[in-house]
A and B are shown apart, each in its own frame.
Chain A
Amino acid sequence: MIKLENVSKAYPGQAQAALRDADADIDKGEFVFLVGPSGSGKSTFLRLLNKQEEPDTGRIFVAGKDLGQMSSWKVPLLRRNIGSIFQDFKLLPTKTVAENVAFALEVIGRPRSVIRSQVPAICELVGLGDKMTKYPDQLSGGEQQRVSIARAFVNRPLILLADEPTGNLDPQTSIGIMRLLDRINKTGTTVVMASHDRGIVDTMRKRVIELSNGSIVRDQDRGVYE
């Protein structure tokens, strides 16, 4: 599903590369943690997968497509197959829960009938069936993250990228979010999650890819944070 071959990436003006000679192969339906301290290259890894960044060298394949060969007009189509969630949720404060979720379908031109049936179903799935008319600032942090997961998943993507999704949440709430991500993974969606939350990584016992200064230093099945 995801394959990196000798991928390197440096940002202009920074002496040290964000990612160095990274190789990785992630199968369909896998759940993978990217671990490592801040600045080790986790976010860059994720941003390369949906073409928010371009690698300097190396090749990246996502869902069988070589991203380096992909013309720019096809990038939106790629992103429709990749859901993204973030530490800061990126919800739109002027829209309700249902509108935030519907927005993701609206802007890719889905018909209204699809939106009417899909939005309530996905809100139910993430446990917010009774809060669809609330605004983000009326929700707790955990609930807001559930909205952003609903938005990322409503289009049934093949891949879900999560960049520190529990970074702003307390441990108890984080467990709920991880259960939800696990459920989504069980439907066959490949999940790649960057985290430096030791407790979560150790409890989940999933595959762990550890990054240090831009290099992959460990790739272990059923791993722990260390």
Chain B
Amino acid sequence: MAFRPDYLVRETGQNLLRNPSLSLATILTVFISLSLMGVALLFQSGIDRLNSVFQDEVEFIVWMDKDAGPVQIELVEDTLDNNLYVREHWYIDKDETWVEFQSYYADRPEILELLTKEQMPTSFQVAPKSSEVQLIEGLREELETVEGVSDVQFASEAIENIARFSRVTSLSMLVAAIAAGLAAALLMYNSIRTAVFARRREIEVMRLVGATKWFIRIPFMLEGLIQGLIGAFLSIFSVFALNQTFDNLFTSFESVTFRDVALPDWQILYIGGWLMLIGALIGAIGAGIAVTRYLDA
């Protein structure tokens, strides 16, 4: 059962060009649904990165002034030691902060050039005994008044809100993406069915002279595969463009934390790989089912 490559190329090409408007509609549907899926994945990954800044139990971070001296640091440490509601705390010195800072901005040497280790703020990561909002509020108020403290970054407020917001949006986007994916698969199914119908005489002859089902099926599956891949390829660009917008937006916030919502390029490629795979599967499987139903009828 050898396939001749010239036969496959000719058949698949003819199928794709036989009904260009239907091919285009299929590709666009795949493009739109996979774009939605890609954006949902983008949000999800962004939030994951955001959460990883705050290690598991750390509820807030106490940032010291850049030029806070040892006395002031000790004062904050005493405050934390003596507070009944603090379970644990870690001091992050300039060295550690600098290492972390460098890894954040690994892909942005121009920022690293502007700063030195001496300019890094030190901080305390604090894990309270309970995550009750009132209690943490109280802790923050107390710490903010201590001399040398520049800011108390509050996980349960900023991060949780954004996480909740993004959970809702990325969930609804995922639902929309799945619905659009289904539409794409159905349209693919219909498009291939139309192609199969246009070639029903040929298929009838093929079956009569003893062509195998796979021989008949594969050019159609290849057609769906190509449509799926083109749609997926286009959707990567829209995900990439959205990520750029995030990047520009959050960079202007001048916040280390929020900058991480935008993903580095390698992670976009990773999402892109998934989109290509999903596009290829939707295309090939949708087409395969459409032909099989016709062959068995």
**Interface on A for B, CB 8 Å cutoff?**
50, 73, 76-81, 83-84, 90, 92, 103-104, 106-109, 111-112, 151-152, 155
21 A–B pairs (Cβ distance < 8 Å), ordered by A: A73-B212, A76-B207, A76-B212, A79-B207, A80-B210, A83-B209, A92-B201, A92-B205, A103-B202, A103-B206, A106-B4, A106-B7, A107-B206, A107-B209, A108-B211, A108-B215, A109-B2, A109-B3, A109-B4, A111-B2, A151-B209
Nearest 8 CB-CB pairings of A with B: A80-B210, A79-B210, A107-B211, A104-B209, A76-B210, A76-B212, A109-B2, A107-B206
Could you tell me if A79 and B208 are in contact, using CB atoms closer than 8 angstroms? yes
Additional pairs, 12, CB under 8 Å, beyond known A109-B3, A155-B209: A76-B211, A79-B208, A81-B210, A92-B201, A92-B202, A107-B216, A108-B211, A109-B1, A109-B2, A109-B215, A111-B4, A151-B209
Q: How far is the CA of A155 from the CA of B2 in the complex (A)?
A: 16
**Are B201 and A90 neighbours in the complex by a CB distance under 8 Å?**
yes
Chain B residue nearest to A115 (CB atoms) is B4
Chain A residues, CB < 8 A from B205? 90, 92, 103-104, 151
Q: CB within 8 A of A84: which of B7, B201, B208?
A: B208
* Most chain B CB neighbours (cut-off 10 Å) among A83, A92, A108: A108
A107 touching B215, Cβ below 8 Å = yes
Contacts of B160 in A (CB 8 A): none
Neighbouring B residues of A84 by C-beta, 8 Å: 208
Indicate the member of A81, A109, A155 with the most B CB atoms within 10 Å.
Answer: A109
* Cβ distance A122 to chain B, nearest Cβ, rounded Å: 13
- Nearest CB in chain B to that of A50: its residue: B208
Chain A residues positioned under 8 Å from B147 (CB to CB): none
Q: Note all chain B residues with C-beta closer than 8 A to A151.
A: 205, 209
Minimum C-beta distance from A167 to chain B (A): 18
Q: Contact at B212–A80, with CB atoms within 8 Å? A: no
The answer to the question of B88 belonging to the interface, with a C-beta cut-off of 8 Å to chain A, is no
Shortest distance between the CB of A153 and any CB in chain B (Å): 11
CB of B204 closer than 8 Å to a CB of A: yes
Q: In the complex, which residues 185-216 of chain B have their Cβ closer than 8 Å to any Cβ of chain A?
A: 201-202, 204-213, 215-216
In the complex, A92→B213 CA distance in Å?
19
The distance in angstroms between the C-alpha atoms of A32 and B164, with both chains bound, is 80
Q: Which residues of B contact A79 (CB under 8 A)?
A: 207-210
Closest to B6 in A: A112
Contacts of B216 in A (CB 8 A): 107
The distance in angstroms between the C-alpha atoms of A76 and B201, with both chains bound, is 17
Give chain B nearest CB distance to A37 CB in angstroms.
25
- Cα distance, A175 to B206, chains bound together (Å): 29
Q: Give Cα A158–Cα B3 distance, bound, in whole angstroms.
A: 25
Q: A57 CA to B208 CA in the complex, in Å? A: 24
Chain B 1-37, CB-CB to A under 8 Å as 1, else 0, gives: 1111001000000000000000000000000000000
- List CB contacts (< 8 Å) of B227-247 with chain A: none
Q: How far is the CA of A152 from the CA of B211 in the complex (A)?
A: 13
B291 to chain A, nearest CB (A): 14
Give Cα distance in the complex from A152 to B210, angstroms: 11
Given contacts A90-B205, A92-B202, A104-B205, contact A77 B4 (CB under 8 A): no
CA distance A108 to B213 in the complex (A): 11
The reply to whether A108 and B204 form a contact with Cβ atoms under 8 Å apart is no
A151 to B201, CA, bound (A): 14
A13 to B282, CA, bound (A): 38
Q: Give every chain B residue within 8 A of A77 (Cβ-Cβ).
A: 210
Give every chain A residue within 8 A of B210 (Cβ-Cβ).
76-81, 108, 155
The CA-CA distance from A218 to B48 in the complex, in Å, is: 82
B3 to chain A: closest CB distance in Å? 7
Set of chain A residues within 8 Å of B204, measured between Cβ atoms = 90
Selected contact of A80 from candidates B2, B3, B209, B213, CB within 8 Å: B209
CB of B200, distance to nearest CB on chain A (Å): 11
Which residues on the A side are within 8 Å of B215 (C-beta)? 107-109
Q: How far is the CA of A151 from the CA of B2 in the complex (A)?
A: 20
CA distance A112 to B7 in the complex (A): 11
